[in-house]
Amino acid sequence: MTFAYPGDFERTAYSSSFYAQIMNFGTEFTTRAAKYQNCWDFYKGEHWSQQSPEGFDQITVNYCKAFVTKLRRFAFRSPWTTAFTEEQKADGIDTWVNSVWEENNVKLITNTVADFGGIFGDWYIYPQWLPSTDEDILEEREANPFDLKIVALDPRFVFPQYNAKTGEMEVCIIMIPYQDFTLVGNSIEVEDKIYKEIHTKDRIFIEETNSKNEVIESRALDNPLHKMLIVHGICQPQAGSYFGNGIVEDIMKGNQLFNEKTSNISDILDYHAAPITIIYGAKAKQLERGANKIWAGLPTSAKVENLSSEGNIEEARDFLKDIKSWMHELSGVPEKSLGGERNISNTSATALSIDFEPLIELADDVRFYFDEAIKKVNELIIDIGIYNKFITTNLKPPDIYKQKIDHGALLPRDRSLDLADIAAEINLGIESKKGAMERLGVRNIDTKLKEIEQEREDDADFEARLEQLKQKYTEPQNNIPDAFMKNIPQTPEQEKARKAVNKNTVVHGEQVVNEQIMKKS
């Protein structure tokens, strides 16, 4: 089961031949492709469609990129993990899935899809099984997690088609434009090509065309999993659509207006930065230039002054502040979260949570839809592991796919205060240990509880063995006669005489011997 790897191609604007093929898919696809490209331009800082004339400023303050980066860093500040059931662990499912993510750099993929989601509103992951092509090696070696590639696809090059009745993806087209460089003699020839994959649940069609739309290579592969191998994730839902909504789409108009007004203010300041002298009733040759010059001999009706600004710069600056506030309100990213001086030394965790509530709510949404898509990716990873005989299990769906994605806390917390509150609740009987672990952000809670229980059993066994040793060396030796009782006949008469004598072996400074006891008796 070998699937072609799209590769890291140069991401350029749509070429004419590429856009022509998109138009063949329908107006829905062309509209979305244009939106994606516009969002991508704003994210890269290309906010101006035309170059301004010389002497006029074009200021670009890229809030689009700042907002996307802030959302990604806030929502995924802690690495996420996948929790499996004990039955799955017994079959090695957790080992296989975690090994695949580790080999594919889970942090890099998470950051990539989070940025794609913030920019376009959509992101795609393509799990590809790419073992060696050497059949001799394949026959002798076992499946390696490194052979399973997790690829984050650029949404501008992915075109899924959904069934309106079932809501499921039925067809997905990956179409990636790239340039092929060929060395011919002492020169390099460049040719535009398009790599295309058409995915269904049963077949994968691969095709490569040149700039003339001529097919260079074409082949078809069976899909043994009988599932769509492309997983579609979203940043936030868009009502009435299978596609998501990102941050850039909401704020790029405001960012554009902000840049325009900032550039206008900059032009005004540039105009008045170098003073312009206006002369009334005189000629310029009658004046002496310079900072410390005295002008004299002018007609009585003459007047000389510098051009001053009559516009209200303060009102323009207030309007810029309003635009910036609108962008923060529309995106859900608080202004304070982007930096600046903040007095938070005495701010409680509750007050800080309320202060960042819009961003927390946004990050919760992003995590929820991220988890839904990652679970589907993990299902494909499990299926590929079973198909390649790395996993042997008797579990059936849905038990084989049960999983939970765990994230860390969104805001930093004072752990000592949390522990004190939770300990008080446990003592009052209003909180369980499992609930306490969930609130503290402990991952793999069931496994952790079993570790704690096992440690308690080990400690109890150790204490029991220690107590046995103490009893062994401290119990009284009742069965062993003392030095006085040793070798003494135990007749009634002798016992009576023994009681009459001080048990102490020294009586009036003389040692009591057996003969004296006999005489006494």
**What are the pLDDT digits (tens) for 363-377?**
999 999 999 999 999
Confidence at residue 11, expressed as pLDDT on a 0 to 100 scale: 40
pLDDT confidence tier of residue 482, bands split at 50, 70 and 90: low
* Domain membership flag for residue 435: yes
378-388 pLDDT, tens digit per residue, is 999 999 999 98
Tell me, yes or no, whether 419 and 469 share the same domain: yes
Q: By residue range, what is the domain housing residue 521?
A: 483-521
* Domain membership flag for residue 407: no
Confidence at residue 505, expressed as pLDDT on a 0 to 100 scale: 52
Peptide bond into 489 cis (omega under 30): no
pTM (2 decimals)?
0.76
Average pLDDT for residues 386-403, to the nearest whole number? 92
Tell me, yes or no, whether 421 and 464 share the same domain: yes
pLDDT confidence tier of residue 201, bands split at 50, 70 and 90: very high
Higher pLDDT, 416 or 231: 231
* Domain membership flag for residue 487: yes
Q: What does the alpha-carbon distance between residue 104 and residue 147 come to, in Å, rounded to a whole number?
A: 10
User: Does the structure show a pLDDT above 60 at 512?
Assistant: no
Q: What does the alpha-carbon distance between residue 408 and residue 75 come to, in Å, rounded to a whole number?
A: 9
Asked if residue 173 lies in contact with residue 197, where contact means CB atoms within 8 angstroms, the answer is yes
Beta-carbon-side half-sphere exposure of residue 220 (alpha carbons within 13 Å):
5
- Label residue 297 left, alpha or beta by phi (over 0 means left) and psi (-120 to 50 means alpha): left
User: Does the structure show a pLDDT above 70 at 327?
Assistant: yes
* Domain membership flag for residue 236: no
Confidence at residue 299, expressed as pLDDT on a 0 to 100 scale: 75
* Domain membership flag for residue 520: yes
Confidence at residue 478, expressed as pLDDT on a 0 to 100 scale: 55
Tell me, yes or no, whether 419 and 470 share the same domain: yes
Higher pLDDT, 105 or 493: 105
User: Does the structure show a pLDDT above 50 at 5?
Assistant: no
User: Does the structure show a pLDDT above 80 at 286?
Assistant: no
User: Does the structure show a pLDDT above 80 at 341?
Assistant: no
Find residue 187's DSSP bridge partners.
184
* Domain membership flag for residue 338: no
Average pLDDT for residues 294-320, to the nearest whole number? 76
40-56 pLDDT, tens digit per residue, is 999 999 888 777 777 67
* Domain membership flag for residue 223: no
Tell me, yes or no, whether 423 and 463 share the same domain: yes
* Domain membership flag for residue 489: yes
Q: What does the alpha-carbon distance between residue 143 and residue 19 come to, in Å, rounded to a whole number?
A: 40
Overall domain count for the chain: 2
